[in-house]
Structure formats: C-alpha cells, structure tokens
Chains A and B, each alone.
Chain A
Amino acid sequence: MAVDLANPGNFLTTRLRQAINWGRKYSLWPIPYGTACCAIEFMAAVSSYHDLSRYGAELVRFSPRQSDLMIVAGTISYKQAPILKTIYAQMCEPKWVVAMGVCASSGGFYKNYGTLQGIDRVIPTDIYVAGCPPTPENLFHGLLLLQDKIDREGLVASAQRHGEQTG
C-alpha cells in the first residue's frame, strides 16, 4: 500500500488483492470443531488470559455459515468424519482449516481402527499445529502462519484450491 501523494490524506493506492487479503487475515471468524481434550485447551486460548482476539480471530461462531476458519480441535473418528465433512461444506468461501493437535493432524498416538488418520483425508487442511494438546501459544503460532498464507493467496485461490481437492 502507498499514500497517494497527489491527493494527500485522502487516498491510499494498493492492489485489490492485497487490501482484501489484509482484511481477511485480520478478521477471521473461527468455528471450533472441538471433540476432545484439545477443545479444552481451545477454551483456554479464547478466554481472557491468552486471548485469541489479539490476533483478530476472537469472534467464535457456532454456525459454519457465519465462519471462515474451522479449527478442528480433537480426535476425529471414522464415525465423526462424515459429519465433519458436512459441516465443512456448509461454510462459505473463502475458508480455511487449522488442524489443532496431533490427533486432528495425523491421528496422533491413536493409530487404530476407530481413528481417522488426519483430517486432511476428508477436508483440505491449511495449517497443522503440533502438540498433544498444543499450548495456546502454539495455536497462535499456527494462526500467524495462516495469516501469512492468506496474504500470499490470490483472490479466488482458496475457492479454486478447495474445488480441486474436494471435487
């Protein structure tokens, strides 16, 4: 962005992509998809001491239609997977997904008949946050990485990317 020198004080010149992405990355509306222990740490991350709002992502919505960031906190079982997929499909574009904790990322130490070995097998995933459970700080790091990623994206990149993967 730059200040328009011909009309000082009134205009900023920028690229559309940059301006929109700037808006997007600082106003993420997360929907927590909390299933297990990680959800308890997610609660800690949003409440007063750690405070997710410092990164512009405090407006936790419980309706997928109102949110653009899904934070999957907890183990996803095969029984749960179709529901996760449905809820993801209900979110509007552009949308992003953070896998919080090793369970959501890869199944974690549950390598067994009931546990989906990572949510990226059913929905496209942008950021993986390590930890069992991740500390709130760790989740914030994931969020910062996501903001970088959004910055680099084209305007319709997210829709295209997801279109390819989910068919």
Chain B
Amino acid sequence: MSEKLVQALRQEFGADILAASAYRGDHHVTVAPARVTAVLRYLQQRGGCEMLADVIGVDYPDREQRFDVIYYVRSLSAPRQVWVRVSVREGEAVPSACALWRSADWHEREVYDLFGVPFAGHPDLRRILCHHEFEGHALRKDYPVELGQELSAPEKLFSDHDIARAAHRASLAQNPTGAGDEIHPSDLLTVNLGPSHPAMHGCLRAECLLDGETIVEARAEIGYLHRCFEKEAEDHTWAEVMPYTDRLNYCSPMLNNVIYALAVEKLLHVEVTPRCRVIRVIVSELSRIIDHLVCVGTNLVDMGALTMYWYTFYVREAMCQIIEKLCGSRLTTNYARIGGLSHDLYPGCEDEVRTKLRMLEEAVRDVVKLAARNRIFLDRTVGIGAISRADAVSYGLTGPCLRACGIPYDVRKVHPTLDYQEYDFDVPTGEDGDTHARIMVRLAEMVQSKRIIEQALQKLPAGPVNVDEPRVILPPKAKVYGSIEGVMNQFKLIYEGIQVPAGAAYGCGEGANGELGFYCIADGGGRPYRIKVRPPCFPIYGAFTHIIKGGMVADAIATLGSLNIIAGELDR
C-alpha cells in the first residue's frame, strides 16, 4: 500500500521528489524544503495519511546538508505510512507543518531543541526537553554526551503580557458583545501544577490561569525527566540499550523491551523462533494489564475512590510476582533480547498465569460494578476532559485515548507483528473521547488481553527461545568455556556489539498508551547511529492543555490520570 502512495507522489510531484527508497518495507521519499508542505498536505488530504506520528531529526556532520528532518505520516486504518525526508544546511529553515497538524508543534520543537534546526512559521519555537538556559544542541554529534549544564531557576510559563491577553480573551468569551464586567488580569489566579506535585503522576508540569475554578488558559512544560535516552543509545551497543528501554515507560517495561527488540530484528532481518513469539505476546499482554491496572487504580484515587485502588493493586502485585519470577525484577525487567529472550518461562509459569488471570477477571468485574453506576464517578467523568475525533487525530493521539474517541486504530491489528493476526480479540472503543470512555476502554482492554494470553498459553509451542544466529545471540556458556570460537564470539558480541547492516527501519507495536516505535538508523557498526523513540505519551501530553481548557481545575487532575502520561517515556 505504501508503494502505491510513493508512486502517486511521484506522479503528482515529479522531479520534486528528489529520491525514493524502500528498505525493510519502510518507504522514504526525499523532497526539497520548499516543497515539503505541499507533499505533506497531499499525503494528509489525498493520500489517506491522516496522522503525523513523529518528526525525526538526524545529524550527519560530514555532509554539507548536515541535518535530516523526517516526517513520519501514517494512515489509521491501513498499513500505509511514509517517511518524508528534508535535508537542510546549518541554519536553514524547514517550513513548519503546524498548519496541517497540531502534533507538529511539539515534535518540531523537539527537533529544534536537540538539533538546532529552525522551523519557518512555527508559532512557538522554544526548547522543550532541555532547559531554557541550555547552550548548544544536545543530539548533534559534536555535543559531548556527558556535558551537563546547570540551571539557575525554573522558567515561568506565563508573562504578565500573556496573563493580560488571557484575561481579555476570557472577557470576550463571557460577553461577546462587550457589555458587562470585564475580567481584569488580577482576577486571574495563576496555579502552577508540578513538576513535583503529588497529583501530577510523576514530574509533569502545567501552569493554569484560573477564573474562579475554571481554567481559562493553560500551558504545559516537559523535560523534567529528560534522561537523554537517545543520546545514551548512541553511546552504547545495540544490546546495551535494552535496559534503558525498561525505564521509558516504567509501568510496562516488558512492552518496551519487546518492541525495541522487534525494531532491531527488523533492521537485522532476523525472525525469532515461534516459542519466543508466543512468550513475547504473553509478557506484552501481561505488561499491558499491569499498566492499565496502575492507570485505572490511581485515576480512581484522583476522584476519591480508594477502594478500587486496593482491588486493582492487589491484582497488580500478584501479576508483578510473575514478572519477578520471570526475570528477577519487578520493575526493570530487561527481559527481551535481540533475537530472543534472556530466558525461557519458569516451570509452572503457565498455571500461575492462568490463576492470576482469573483474579484479574474478578477484579475488573468488581471495579466495573463499583464504578459503572456510581453517581460521583459518573459526574466526575462523563463529558469531562473530552477531545473530539478530529482533534485527537490532529494531535497524534494513539492507543486507548484515541480509541476512546471511537477510532479503532490498534497497531496489533493494522500492523501485526508477533503473529497478532492469528489471535482472536476485539478492539474496544468508546464514543465521546472523555475521561469515562478512556477508563472504560482500558478496563475492556484488560479483558481482551486476558483472551489473548489464554490463546497464547494454549498454543505455546516447544522449542528454543533464541534464534540460532551466532552473530546476534551470545553462545551458550559451555561453548564459551570449551572452545576458542565460543570465546571469540562472546568477546566480539560484548565488546563490539551486534553488527547491524547500515540502513534505517522503524519497528513499532501497541504499547500500553499507544503506538510505541523505535526508528533506528544503523551505520554498519555495533552501536546505533541514531534511535528515535516514538513515545505515545508525547503527543498525548501535547494535547493535555487543549483538553483541560474551559474545564474545572479539579477535573484537570482526573483527566490527566485517565490520559496515563508516564514521564519517563514522555521526556525520554
């Protein structure tokens, strides 16, 4: 499908498409900066690629056109996606895509922050992950990994001028005719939420201007947990990046492990064993369940429903025990390996999973029973924190938040990896895109995950979990200690890393919060040239202030909980 799209682009734009390439099934087209907006508009409006899912920056210091900016656009109903590449010189601007998609705002700011590529026509081109006193651009190849820069004081998000404008707008909105009382800037109360606020679910920050309890204006600031995943990745071998992926979304680390492994395997052109595929499905779905349990449990606490928290966390603890037995750690799992898994299931694992799935079913039933007709719960969630379908797509929402709006986009269906097409499961959707729909979609998804795991357990084939590829998988210890080839093989894999052939590929999967992807560029060596994470939380948090504007400040907290933003993944 993507090929046809590239053909259509060639027909439409002729020589303006400077180059087109396909590698491992991913299609890239290169265009001149002047034409990029036209190409993107065509893709959005006539090519059926309604979402701008990511913008990727890459630095090639030896080239004259030093930077690549790559727009990743995709369809939500079919496996149709294309990467549009623009190459620019130092200081040369790329036309912003903000007029086409709202998600472009934050994605482009990130490229500006980390690479210093300016975007012409961007409404708010500021740093986003690094702090405002930071000098230089961190992901440029000539920026040293370890060169930290201290910050003297946090940034204020609203200037007096901004507050005056917000007051004026609020007055106009209240009485469009100009009659009646005007809201004075001093009537507006600035409330800063986070980044160390207990209700903000991690270090997220939003500053709100309140008129009474109503939010008239809000701004979000991120980067407080920017741990430089992408820079660290360039400094480690492909295999060494695995533990860093644990800490992206630390509520569902297994999913990160598995999807990262899938991305590198795609580049390597390695297919994992059937047993490994099924085990990966099991651990991924367990991880999704755990993530949803944490999200729903804490979200209900935001509304004062502590009982549900005990129900959900009780099952979560039970599931964490499986994870701990499987990989020795509750949180930082580091379980998948490129080409396989760190080890097979432990004896008795299948039965334990089955037992705990029954506990899950009961817990979900109890929570639904307690919540479904609870007056307070309904008042706090129905119609609150809603986002329209069009906005959800424009902001780049994926996962339960998008499905709550009624768009059934699920990577497991549209882009099945790990044989997801062979499992029988539904994609639960909501309708109104509000807090209620998001919670209900998550609850329903847990039941579907349970179905998937049951099918997986049934068909779990025997056999090895690791591929038989000495260039990828460490040799068994007997070989390492018993033969010179074994020693050499181990030595080379550890010191030089897995040698990944040069090229770029995007591997993605359905994370707990949406489409999680790793766009990997290899230069033929043992270390990644560049890894760009497509974190589902990033675009969702980008929409947060849009969602809460006009609502009550207390609802903002409950809304945030239902969006399930994990700072580790948001800031990387």
Instruction: Give the B-binding residues of A (Cβ under 8 A).
Output: 32-37, 39-41, 44, 47, 49, 62, 74-75, 77-84, 87, 109-117, 132-133
Query: Which stretch of B64-72, B221-229, B438-446 is in the interface?
Result: B221-229
- Is the C-beta of B159 less than 8 angstroms from some C-beta in chain A? no
- Interface positions, chain B 514-572, Cβ under 8 Å from A, are 567-568, 571
Q: Inside 8 A of A115's CB, which chain B residues have their CB?
A: 148, 227-228
Contact of B227 among A47, A87, A110, A117 (CB under 8 A): A110
- Interface positions, chain B 112-167, Cβ under 8 Å from A, are 129-131, 138, 143-154
Determine if B225 and A35 form an interchain contact, defined as CB atoms under 8 angstroms apart: yes
* A14 vs chain B, min Cβ distance (A): 38
Majority secondary structure of chain A interface residues (helix, strand, loop or mixed): loop
- Is the C-beta of B396 less than 8 angstroms from some C-beta in chain A? no
Contact of B223 among A35, A47, A62, A77 (CB under 8 A): A77
Contact of A82 among B151, B246, B332 (CB under 8 A): B151
- Is the C-beta of B203 less than 8 angstroms from some C-beta in chain A? yes
Determine if B225 and A41 form an interchain contact, defined as CB atoms under 8 angstroms apart: no
What separation, in Å, do the CA atoms of A117 and B149 have in the docked complex? Answer: 11
Majority secondary structure of chain B interface residues (helix, strand, loop or mixed): loop
Query: Which stretch of B194-202, B212-220, B417-425 is in the interface?
Result: B194-202
What separation, in Å, do the CA atoms of A87 and B144 have in the docked complex? Answer: 31
Contact of A81 among B129, B151, B202, B313 (CB under 8 A): B151
Count B interface residues, CB 8 Å. 44
Q: Inside 8 A of A34's CB, which chain B residues have their CB?
A: 202
Q: Inside 8 A of B187's CB, which chain A residues have their CB?
A: none
- Of chain B, the residue at the smallest CB distance from A63 is B198
A44-B317, A78-B149, A117-B148 known; 5 other A-B pairs, CB under 8 Å?
A75-B227, A78-B131, A79-B226, A110-B232, A114-B138
Instruction: Give the A-binding residues of B (Cβ under 8 A).
Output: 129-131, 138, 143-154, 195-196, 198, 202-203, 223-228, 231-232, 243-244, 246-247, 250-251, 294, 313, 317, 330-332, 567-568, 571
What separation, in Å, do the CA atoms of A81 and B154 have in the docked complex? Answer: 9
Determine if B332 and A37 form an interchain contact, defined as CB atoms under 8 angstroms apart: yes
| Subset of 23 A-B contacts with CB under 8 Å | A33-B196, A34-B202, A35-B202, A35-B203, A36-B227, A37-B332, A40-B294, A47-B313, A74-B225, A75-B227, A78-B131, A78-B148, A79-B151, A80-B203, A80-B225, A83-B195, A112-B231, A113-B143, A113-B144, A113-B231, A114-B148, A114-B227, A133-B331
Q: Inside 8 A of B244's CB, which chain A residues have their CB?
A: 109
What separation, in Å, do the CA atoms of A84 and B196 have in the docked complex? Answer: 8
Determine if B196 and A112 form an interchain contact, defined as CB atoms under 8 angstroms apart: no
Determine if A112 and B148 form an interchain contact, defined as CB atoms under 8 angstroms apart: yes
Determine if A83 and B147 form an interchain contact, defined as CB atoms under 8 angstroms apart: no
Q: Inside 8 A of B294's CB, which chain A residues have their CB?
A: 40
Q: Inside 8 A of A40's CB, which chain B residues have their CB?
A: 250-251, 294, 331
* A137 vs chain B, min Cβ distance (A): 12
What separation, in Å, do the CA atoms of A33 and B130 have in the docked complex? Answer: 21
Determine if A83 and B154 form an interchain contact, defined as CB atoms under 8 angstroms apart: yes
Q: Inside 8 A of A79's CB, which chain B residues have their CB?
A: 130-131, 151, 154, 223-224, 226
Q: Inside 8 A of A132's CB, which chain B residues have their CB?
A: 332
* B199 vs chain A, min Cβ distance (A): 9
Q: Inside 8 A of B247's CB, which chain A residues have their CB?
A: 36-37
What separation, in Å, do the CA atoms of A1 and B143 have in the docked complex? Answer: 61
Determine if B331 and A82 form an interchain contact, defined as CB atoms under 8 angstroms apart: no
Determine if B148 and A62 form an interchain contact, defined as CB atoms under 8 angstroms apart: no
Determine if B331 and A41 form an interchain contact, defined as CB atoms under 8 angstroms apart: yes
What separation, in Å, do the CA atoms of A40 and B566 have in the docked complex? Answer: 11
A49, A75, A82, A116 — which one has the most chain B CB atoms within 10 A of its CB? A75
What separation, in Å, do the CA atoms of A83 and B225 have in the docked complex? Answer: 13
- Of chain B, the residue at the smallest CB distance from A111 is B146
**CB-CB under 8 A for A113 and B147, given A77-B225, A77-B227, A79-B130:** yes
What separation, in Å, do the CA atoms of A109 and B567 have in the docked complex? Answer: 18
Q: Inside 8 A of B149's CB, which chain A residues have their CB?
A: 78, 113
Determine if B225 and A36 form an interchain contact, defined as CB atoms under 8 angstroms apart: yes
* A33 vs chain B, min Cβ distance (A): 6
